[in-house]
Structures are given as structure tokens and as C-alpha cells.
Structure 1
Amino acid sequence: MKMLRLWLVSSAAAGLLATSGGAASASADYELAYWPMNEAPGSRTMRDATGHGFDGRIGSEVAVGLRSGDRIAYGFERLEPDTPPARPGHVVIVPDDDRLDPGSRDYAIGMRLRTRDYFGNIVQKGQATVPGGSFKLQIPNGRVQCWFRGSRTSLLVTAPKPINDGQWHTVRCERTSDGVTLIVDQRVVASRDGWTGPIANSWPLAIGGKTTCDQVDVGCDYFAGDIDYVAVDVDEPGW
């Protein structure tokens, strides 16, 4: 059912973009990676349901198999920001693969989450200054932000309203040649025109925080809350 729900989010977003004049067109509709996050408690491998092989390593501190009605999710406990030590077990890691880089393709990241906190990096590939560019979704002050940093420029979009109400929300961020668009609960909430340029780095895809940090000079920005699924869509597979 989660794959159907993701398709509905994408379809609804496409219609909204067509009528709202948003920056990005919703053409990233090839499912490159899809992590349902429905493994049994104690599992330490996050399975990619597409069959493309993008399995991830679940950190030892991530709660797996959490049930909420008909949903199964991962849980990420609250860790105080910028307070040592770093906790790498808090993060889910998908090893670097060129196919997961946006490159010059239309590229979208979608997920369902809930939180009562006001900070943390949800999903990212690369960090702020790494060669090749990077992207991330984060939730400062409870408001979702989506950021793509490419060879030409960086584009950041921010939701106008917080979603840290403890309820489930869907989030999708799309990067195309026209710009970046943020969709929350199937509604376009923010967009910005422009072209980031290609993005390709040698870093893993991380869920729940940064992979390289020490909580002293570099904060780990650990996410606090539950995540039901994460998906990556592109306009073409690239292989």
C-alpha cells in the first residue's frame, strides 16, 4: 500500500504544480529507490523494495518495527543538539552509489514522518561543503526545508508552517531544471526558480542525521521522530 500512496502523492503534486505555476514540474516519476521501513524488530538491514539493490545499514540505536495503526516505521530518539558524543548508531546509511546522485536528472525525495521536535536532518547525501554538491531535507523549528546544492548554485525552500505536531505527514521535494518545489501533505507549499547544476558526490545517503560529525565542531543534527518510508524518484533511471 505504501507504493500506491507514494504514487498518489506524486500525482496530486503534478496537478497542483500545473495550476500553481510552481518552479518544478513533477516529472520525476521513475521509482529509483523505495525503502518501506517495515522490517521486523531487531533487523539491521533496510531493504530497497524496487529490487535495484540500494539496501541500507540500520544503526544500532534506531528502533525498528514500530507499529502505528496499519503502519510500521523506524523510530529515532531525541538527542540533545550539539551535545557530545556523536552517536553514529542513530543513523541509517545507504552506501554511496552513482545511481543515487541527482546528476542532471529531475530528482525527487519523498517520505512520511511524524515528530514533536523542531530540529534535525531527515535525509541527505553529502554535507555542506563536500565536492560534487549535496542535498538534504531538514526540519528546523519544525518547518521542513529542502536544499539542493549543485555546481551552479544552491536552492533552499522552506515550508511556511511547522509540522511538528506528532501527526503523520507526507513530504516530497523535487529538483528539476526549472527549480525546486516542496510538497507537504499533497500541497505545494514552497518553490524557487533556478537551476542548481549537476549534483554528484561520493558520500552515502543518510537518514536521521549526518555521517561525519563530532557534536563539537560539526553538529550531527540528529532527527527525532518516526519515519514510515523514504523514496527516490527520477525522470530516467540513468543506466
Structure 2
Amino acid sequence: MKNRRLWIVSAATTGLLLLSGGTASAATDYELAYWPMNEAPGARTMRDATGHGFDGAIGREVAVGLRSGDHIAYGFERLEPDTPPARPGHVVTVPDDDRLDPGDRDYAIGMRLRTRDHFGNIVQKGQATVPGGSFKLQIPNGRVQCWFRGSRTSLLVTAPKPINDGQWHTVRCERTREGVTLFIDRRPVASRPGWTGRIANSWPLAIGGKTTCDQIDVGCDYFAGDIDYVAVDVARSRW
């Protein structure tokens, strides 16, 4: 397994967020899913290292086994936005499972990535108008955005600076009762207060773009770059 561990904001940082009107760190002390993305070239199954069984299907256009120093990653080639045809082989999908839905829990999704491009959906579960709500992380104009859409409201936070510099960055987004907070390289960079309400849909978790799109009426928003890992942390589960 890669050298990754759960992390939450320190008490000092949480205090700064509260003083500035931001949101406190989620109590995401349970690693629900962790995809280290270190399979060998040619692999078509993305393994969940937690043992919880959230294995995914790797699209045939996704490059597997890319080595960068001591890291192994998946590569997603650049595809022109809104240009047919749709390319479902560009996406990694994890089948729908109720446990992967945020529900009413504190919920965090994190990853390590690099890109030189300025568009694309990185990770999502559900799309804009699907019943039950949805969430996604995307990178328009090279700036990471985190969006949670729940039964009560939608909250969108945007990083103040782009990260499409070709360097590795960690990205993490936390949803709590207090609001949504975005972290870049372990530092809080944007937050919005509020409670989204429950989020639970019947869609797969997708990495690298949308699963239902045609590049005509619905853009697929394909991500371009490399992803080193993706993880989901939640408040201690009751199931």
C-alpha cells in the first residue's frame, strides 16, 4: 500500500477556520474506501485496499501502472471538451453501493493528482439533476471546485488559485453539518457554511469524467492528467 494515512485538520487550523467564518474539520475518522491505483499495466480492476470490497472497473483508455518517482498512478489523456463521440473507456467506475453515499454523515473525499490542463470532472457520484443528490470534484480553469448537492441545498467551494502546474498536489473536500471545506496540499483554501442535507443516489462513483453523457447535449467533462490515489473517509459507520 502507498504511504498514505488519514489526516484531519489540526485544532489550531480548525480554530482559524472558525475565526474566519469557515467550517471546522469533519470527524472523518473511518477509512471507508482507498484506491491506491498501483495496479500493473494492463490491469482492468481497480482494487480497494481497505478490504471493504469497493473494487472498480478501469476503462480501457486509462493508462495503468504509470511510474513517477516512487509513485504509481493512472493516466487520463486529454480529450477535447464537448467533442463527440463519448469515450466511456476514459472513466474508472465503482458500482453503486449505499455505503459510498454521504448520507447524513460527515464525509470526505481526497486524492493526489497532477495536471497541466484546465477542465474536467475528477471524481463524482451522480450528476447534476439526479434524484437523491450528488457530489463531485472538478477543475475548471485549473482551479479545484468541490460541490455537494443534498436534500436541503447545494454548496460549491472553489480554490482561489489554479494547480494545473504539472506538479503533484493533494486535494481533499469535507462535508459536515457545518459546511463544506476544500483543502489543497493539506491547507484549507475555501469553505462555505451550511448543511446540504442527505445525499444518497443510485449512481456509480466515477473517476475521470461522467458515466452518462454524449458530448452533444451532455458534456462528458473528461479529466486530463494523472491520479495517484483516491480515498473516502467518513464519520464512524453505524452499519
Task: Give the TM-score category using the shorter length.
Answer: over 0.9
Change (3 A) 1:14 1:235: farther
Q: Distance in 2 between matches of 1:238 and 1:14?
A: 26
Return the structure number with greater helix share: 1
CA distance in 1, matches of 2:214, 2:125: 18
Shift in Å, 1:17: 2.3
Q: Name the TM-score, length of structure 2 as normaliser.
A: 0.96
Deviation of 1:29 (Å): 1.9
1:204 corresponds to: 204
SS in 2 for 1:11: coil
RMSD value over aligned CA atoms? 1.2
- Determine the C-alpha separation between the residues in 2 that align with 1:23 and 1:11: 13
Q: Secondary structure at the match of 1:53?
A: coil
2:47 is equivalent to residue 47 of structure 1:
yes
Residue 4 of structure 2 aligns to which amino acid in structure 1? R
Distance 2:70 2:9 in 1: 22
Please tell me whether the aligned partners of residues 157 and 182 of structure 2 are also in contact (alpha carbons under 8 angstroms): yes
Checking the alignment, whether the CA contact within 8 Å between 2:17 and 2:23 is kept in structure 1 is no
2:108 maps to 1:108:
yes
Task: Tell whether the 8 Å contact from 2:26 to 2:107 is kept in structure 1 after alignment.
Answer: no
Shift in Å, 1:6: 3.7
The reply to whether residue 228 of structure 1 matches residue 225 of structure 2 is no
Structure 2 counterpart SS, 1:216: coil
| Number of residues of Structure 1 aligned to a counterpart in Structure 2 | 236
Q: What amino acid maps onto 2:46 in structure 1?
A: M
Q: Indicate the residue corresponding to 1:187 in structure 2.
A: 187
Shift of 1:197: 0.2
Where structure 1 has 5 or more consecutive residues not aligned to the other structure, the ranges are none
- 8 Å contact from structure 1 (residues 25, 178) kept in 2: no
1: CA distance, partners of 2:35 / 2:112: 11
Letter in 2 for 1:5: R
Deviation of 1:238 after TM superposition, in Å, equals: 3.5
Contact 1:81–1:222 (8 Å) recurs in 2: yes
- Give the drift of 1:15: 4.5
Residue 109 of structure 1 and its aligned partner are, at CA, apart by 0.2
Letter in structure 2 aligned against 1:160: P
Would you say the 8 A contact 1:24–1:175 is kept in 2?
no
Q: Deviations over 1:209-235 (max 9, x none)?
A: 000000000000000000000000001
In structure 1, C-alpha distance between the alignment counterparts of 2:198 and 2:72, rounded to whole Å? 35
**Equivalent residue, structure 2, for 1:5:** 4
Between the aligned partners of 2:98 and 2:176, the Cα distance in structure 1 is: 18
Query: How many percent identity over aligned positions?
Result: 84
1:50-101 CA deviation, whole Å, 9 max, x = no partner? 0000000000000000000000000000000000000000000000000000
Rounded to whole Å, the distance in 2 between the matches of 1:176 and 1:91 is: 28
Give the corresponding residue for 1:91: 91
Query: Which amino acid letter does the alignment assign opposite residue 88 of structure 1?
Result: P
CA contact (8 A) 2:17 2:24 kept: no
Query: For the residues of structure 2 that align with 1:38 and 1:15, how far apart are their CA atoms?
Result: 34
Alignment of 1:22-37 (within 5 A): 22-37=22-37
Note the alpha carbon deviations across 1:107-152, whole angstroms, 9 max, x for none: 0000000000000000000000000000000000000000000000
* Alignment pair present for 1:76 and 2:76: yes
**Matched residues in 1 for 2:54 and 2:220: separation?**
23
Name structure 2 gaps, 5 residues minimum: none
Q: Which moved more, 1:14-23 or 1:208-217?
A: 14-23
- Partner in structure 2 of residue 147 of structure 1: 147
